[in-house]
Amino acid sequence: MGREIGSDSFSADDFARFQQRLVLETKHAHDACARGEFATEGVVAGFELEAWLIDERLCPVPRNVSFLARMASPLVVPELSRFNVELNGTPQPLHGAALSQLESELTATWQRCLQVAGEDDAALIAIGTLPTVRESDLSLASMSPSRRYAMLNEQILRLRGGRPLTLDIAGIEELCATHEDVMLEAATTSFQAHLQIPAGEAARTYNASLILAAPLVALAANSPFLFERALWHETRIPLFEQAVDCSDPEHPRHLRVTFGSGYLGSDPTACFAENLSSYAVLLPYEVPGPVHAYAHLRLHNGTIWRWNRMLIGFDAQERPHLRVEQRVMPAGPSIIDMIANAAFYYGAVRMLASRAVPPETQLSFADARENFYRAARDGLAARLLWLDGRSVPAAELLQQVLLPLAREGLRQLDLLAADVERYLQVIGERLQSGRNGAAWQLAHFARHRDFIRLTADYLDHQRRLAPVHEWPI
């Protein structure tokens, strides 16, 4: 959820001053991008991985403060709850050995995390939703000690008029519950792929990312259980959307977690203009600095969680750049699975974004959105509408259409042929077996009917670093 803030409370003047800066920065970003001041070359890849700290009983353990102090790594930082942490990868120019470098660094960071967690009789696990998490674990007592998180909770509940959050998910089974705070969000951990692109390619890359969201979430699904109920193959999707819903039924606005409201046109900064016009400010913390640092724009953007999100960053020369954050993939099941998912995305999105006929003219936004929720609900079995007007199972679309597309995209990026073969072979064999993380979890529980054993076996296989299609049931 981003950077720390320096306030314990906000006044009406704080909101007014922040809004003024937000207006100025949003206009400046639009004008600067139109003038060609954003980076116009280079493709750079990166990621964020959210993970759980668990104890010897395989339940969440709220020890991230001491864990992070012992880690003392800028790549490993806190998350919303005391039992979550975030691992980051050093951004890599997307050519040559970039993919294997991302994997090597993540593996080294992960192994160090396991070692440090073990010193406190804990373990680290990467999984979309933890099968052993209980609703009682998701309380304010488990919130990380950050003013940002406390104020987010306060402001979201303020916009809801103090009404509790309602959880209503119908899938394989059904779950209905109410919750008094935003801590349900702590049960949704993800692997977020970042892709920095030249400004002139940003809008089409963003649109292609929206179209790919459905097959990508079907491919990567790894969150079938919540509170001992089998729900969606990627339950993380409806859970996160409902966990921070601060809309007022009498005055509805855009959801804070959303697939979005439409494709982008030629202006890649239009999403920031929509942030300004359609979303109430949650954290009106004034940041000293020039307009062109976009501090207020970036802070506001960080409180709107589109499943694909446009971000502004800065290079070593302090030149602004645009990157797409693809947020649909869950954490896990294994490191190689996650890097393979990212590789698939990087290759496929490049090819879709560079087509002579823009794919967003062939698939309506409403259909792309409907595809996304079908895929999150039904995984590889979901039927998806594609660019040619056919409705096909996600697994078939991935294997016959998108996997060859991803291969060509990675080849065009001049990535090592051995890396391309290694990661896309993982994708191909996953599709051939029909076993992503969600399918493995559902099959394991169907056989053993034991969430503790499910979590223990999952953790053991994950530590062996093998891809999920090789895991025994």
247 alpha carbon, distance to own chain's centre: 22
**Predicted pLDDT of residue 465:** 96
Is the model's pLDDT at 317 over the cut of 90? Answer: no
Return the bridge partners of 385, or none.
391
**Predicted pLDDT of residue 133:** 98
Arithmetic mean of pLDDT, 42-57? 97
The H helix count followed by the E strand count for the chain is 15, 16
Report DSSP state, residue 357.
Answer: S
Arithmetic mean of pLDDT, 285-305? 96
Arithmetic mean of pLDDT, 209-228? 98
Distances (CA, A) of 276 to 8, 242, 364: 24, 22, 25
Range of lowest pLDDT (161-170, 244-253, 350-359) = 244-253
Residues 389-441 have pLDDT tens digits of 999 999 999 999 999 999 999 999 999 999 999 999 999 999 999 999 999 99
Q: What is this structure's pTM? A: 0.96
Band (pLDDT 50/70/90 cuts) for residue 4 is very low
Is the model's pLDDT at 8 over the cut of 90? Answer: no
Tell me which residue of 91, 87, 140 sits closest to 117, measured CA to CA: 87
Q: Kindly report the CA angle at 339 between 72 and 87, in degrees rounded to 5?
A: 20
Residues 231-275 have pLDDT tens digits of 999 999 999 999 998 876 655 567 899 999 999 999 999 999 999
Distances (CA, A) of 379 to 20, 221, 382, 425: 44, 6, 6, 20
Q: Where are the beta strands (DSSP E) in 283-432?
A: 305-306, 308-314, 320-326, 383-385, 391-393
Is the model's pLDDT at 3 over the cut of 90? Answer: no
Residues 277-293 have pLDDT tens digits of 999 999 999 999 999 99
Contact indicator for 448, 454 with CB cutoff of 8 Å: yes
Return the H-helix or E-strand segment holding 192: strand 191-197
Domains detected in the chain:
12-461 (3.30.590.20)
For all residues of the chain together, what is the average pLDDT? 95
Is the model's pLDDT at 1 over the cut of 50? Answer: no
Q: Is residue 191 classed exposed, middle or buried when 0-12, 13-18 and 19+ CB atoms within 10 A define those classes?
A: buried
Distance CA 416, CA 47 (A): 19
Alpha-carbon Rg of the chain, whole angstroms? Answer: 21
